Structure 1
Amino acid sequence: MSVLNVINPLFQAYIVYSAILTLKLIAVSSMTGYTRLTRRVFSNPEDVKNFRGVVKLDDPVVERTRRAHMNDLENIPPFWILGALYITTGPGLAWTTLLFRSFTVCRIIHTIVYILPVPQPSRAIAYGIPYIINWYMGIQVVSFYISAM
């Protein structure tokens, strides 16, 4: 059986958590736009004209939401790559599902505590766990394939 096959439970877990993360990424992008609209703070003059706002590149509320989105863009794509590679090493289903689920839940929590904002160390913990998971999967992939060479 091919590892990257929709019948493979590992690949199914990867698909589910990747889809959730993708929807989350889209939602945070939409939140940034919504925040701009409700605060009438825009980054482009043509938007000001159409939506009767001001050009302002340093609105603290918009910037906080935008930074949460940028943080996702820096951390979720490596998960997509490393997660797909990781399942090719044949890890256990329960462990892999726990890694994928933990990554996803922590990234959702990270966005919530970033945007609200909730005092530290909440954001650092919600950031650190997925960060460690990405490193773990990457090291496992490299180790597996080096030993197979």
Structure 2
Amino acid sequence: MDLLTLENPVFATYAVAAAVMVLKVMGQGWMTVYRMSTANAGLVSPEDLRPGAINPTPDPSQLEPNDYVERSRRIHRNDLENIPAFWAAGLLFVTADPPLWLALVLMVGFVLARLAHFAAYATQQSHEMRASFYTVGSVIVIYMALHVLWAALA
């Protein structure tokens, strides 16, 4: 069986998890834009103060940090710091031909950890709570990378 086809249930599991994470990253970007629009604040570049259809009467105060917008921006940045490692390690993990049960546990676990991290960040939970979910996702990615190294060097 070719490992990188949807006929391989491990690859199909990866494909679903990776696609959900693509939607998470892209959706968070749109969430930030939505928050900037509804708060009429949180702009980041001086050229954003040029009048236009979306912002007909710009004000320099729109460049000041706005926690409502910045929280979404921080969530997005955190996704961009963590999810690409999953995409890479997960695809390599598929090529190591792991058991389906292990792939399911790890890949679903990563997705759930990232969604829980988002929920904790969005609802202003403690750093310890966010760090717990980050740690689960991080350990999963590290395990997948080590599994690939072990398989490749064995």
TM-score, normalised by the number of residues in structure 1: 0.92
Structure 2 residue corresponding to 1:103, chosen from 90, 110, 116? 110
The 5 Å alignment of 1:64-143 reads 64-143=71-150
Q: Does the Cα contact within 8 Å between 1:82 and 1:137 map onto a contact in 2?
A: yes
Could you tell me how far apart the structure 1 residues matched to 2:36 and 2:18 are?
Answer: 27
Unmatched runs of 5 consecutive residues or more in structure 2: none
SS at 2:6 equivalent: coil
Runs of 4+ in 1 over 4 A off after TM superposition: none
* Match in the other structure for 2:4: 4
TM-score, normalised by the number of residues in structure 2: 0.89
Q: Does the Cα contact within 8 Å between 2:14 and 2:90 map onto a contact in 1?
A: yes
String of CA shifts for 1:32-89, please: whole Å, max 9, x gaps.
Answer: 1111111111123443323144432522221111011011011111101100101111
* Match in the other structure for 2:40: 40
SS at 2:125 equivalent: coil
Could you tell me how far apart the structure 1 residues matched to 2:23 and 2:135 are?
Answer: 21
Q: Does the Cα contact within 8 Å between 1:6 and 1:12 map onto a contact in 2?
A: yes
Q: Does the Cα contact within 8 Å between 1:10 and 1:87 map onto a contact in 2?
A: yes
Could you tell me how far apart the structure 1 residues matched to 2:48 and 2:122 are?
Answer: 24
User: How far apart are 1:28 and its partner, in Å?
Assistant: 0.6
Q: Which amino acid aligns with 2:119?
A: I
